């Protein structure tokens, strides 16, 4: 999670919402990292999780099938990112801060545990939640001041 937090800080440096993600293989090796970059690139899919999953797919032995891998993210995934994690067949999602407004791993929706889907990753929530929420709180407080 500390690596994902470093990614989140990188997002904030270029004006994006500070969310970071890391994909680890079963041995704990980092396969991909990412941070939000929608503002910098103008790409609506530029979420930390999507970027990290794409990077991991280029290095993982099974390509896009990230079987056995863990997605670590500082903020609970949205519906797009939760769906991407399911499609990528990640074994587990570990997230820090819950997202009651858009979270799709248990807060608002529960896409990742929907029994109608062909794959359901394990979810570990609230890991270093306060540390993960802090950059988000600071970012939005600063934006409201402007």
Is pLDDT of 146 > 60?
no
Res. 143 pLDDT band, cuts 50 70 90: confident
**Helix (H) / strand (E) containing 18:** none
pTM of the model: 0.95
Is pLDDT of 144 > 90?
no
> Which residues are paired to 35 by β-bridges?
20
What CATH number corresponds to the domain at position 120? Answer: 3.40.140.10
Q: How many helices and strands (H and E) does the chain possess?
A: 5, 5
User: What's the chain's average pLDDT?
Assistant: 95
The pLDDT assigned to 142 comes to: 81
> Rounded CA gap, 121 and 59, in Å?
20
Q: Which domain covers residue 88, as residue numbers? A: 1-144
List active site positions. 49
| Binding-site sequence positions for Zn(2+) | 47, 78, 81
pLDDT in tens, 82-118: 999 999 999 999 999 999 999 999 999 999 999 999 8
Picking from 54, 21, 25, the residue whose alpha carbon sits closest to that of residue 36 is 21
**Total count of domains within the chain:** 1
């Amino acid at each position: 999670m500390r690596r994902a937090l470093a990614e989140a800080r990188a997002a904030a440096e270029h004006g994006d919402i500070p969310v970071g993600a890391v994909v680890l293989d079963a041995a704990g090796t980092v396969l991909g990292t990412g941070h939000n970059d929608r503002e910098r690139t103008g790409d609506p899919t530029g979420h930390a999780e999507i970027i990290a999953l794409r990077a991991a797919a280029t290095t993982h032995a099974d390509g896009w099938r990230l079987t056995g891998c863990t997605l670590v993210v500082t903020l609970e995934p949205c519906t797009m990112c939760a769906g991407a994690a399911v499609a990528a067949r990640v074994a587990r999602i570990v997230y820090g801060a819950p997202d009651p407004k858009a979270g799709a791993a248990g807060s608002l929706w529960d896409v990742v545990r929907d029994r109608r889907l062909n794959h359901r990753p394990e979810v570990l929530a609230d890991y270093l939640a306060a540390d993960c929420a802090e950059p988000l709180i600071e970012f939005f407080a600063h934006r409201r001041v402007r």
